[in-house]
Amino acid sequence: MIQHVEGDRFPVGELDNSESDRLKMVSRLFTEAGFKSRLLTDIRSEIWLKLWGNLTFNPISALSHSTLVDICQYPLTRELARTMMAEAQAIAEHLGASFRVTIERRIEGAEAVGKHKTSMLQDVEAGKPLEIDGMLGAVIELGEMTGVDTPSLKALYACASLLNRKIQQESVFIKQRPLEQ
C-alpha cells in the first residue's frame, strides 16, 4: 500500500519526449484519482527543476537546522543557494535541460513556502541516513563528466557527508526543536 502525504501534482512524461498511449493512460488515472497530472514533452527538464531545489535547500537546511524561509531570508545562505543553483543549472543545460524559472524566482518560491523543514533536516532530527548521493553526489559526478566546475556543491557534499557519517556510525541524534510561529 502507498500512503500519499502531501501534494496533488504528478506531471508525467516519456524520456523520449513522446506522448505515448501508456503516458496518456497514467495521466488519466492520476486525474481520475483527484490529482493534477500534466503530460510533459520534456520530463528531463521537470526532473532537473525538482532536483535543483532539493540539491540546494536540503543540505543547507540539514547543516544549518533551518527552514526554507530562514535559508532564503539570511543573506549568506541565500547567496550560497544562488551559487549552488547556478552550478547545477550549468550542468543541466550542458545536458540539454532547460529551466522555466530563474534562480531568483525559484528561491522566492522556496521562501514563500515558509517555515518548512526539508526532508533532509527531518532525517537529521530523526537520526536517519541522508540522501546526499542522489541529490548532490550524482550531480557532482555529472559536473565532472561535462567539465562543469562545482566548488559549492562539492563543499556542501563534503559537510553533509561528514554529518551523514556521524549519524550512521556514531548514532548522532540532533534534537528536534519546535518551529517558531
Active site amino acids: 50
For residue 16, give the DSSP letter.
T
CB atoms within 10 A of CB 105: 11
Of 61, 66, 57, 42, nearest in space to 135 by CA: 57
Read off the amino acid at residue 58.
Answer: N
- Return d(Cα 150, Cα 84) in angstroms, integer: 8
Environment class of residue 63 by beta-carbon count within 10 Å: exposed (0-12), middle (13-18) or buried (19+)? middle
Burial 114-123 (b: 16+ CB within 10 A, else e): eebbbbbbeb
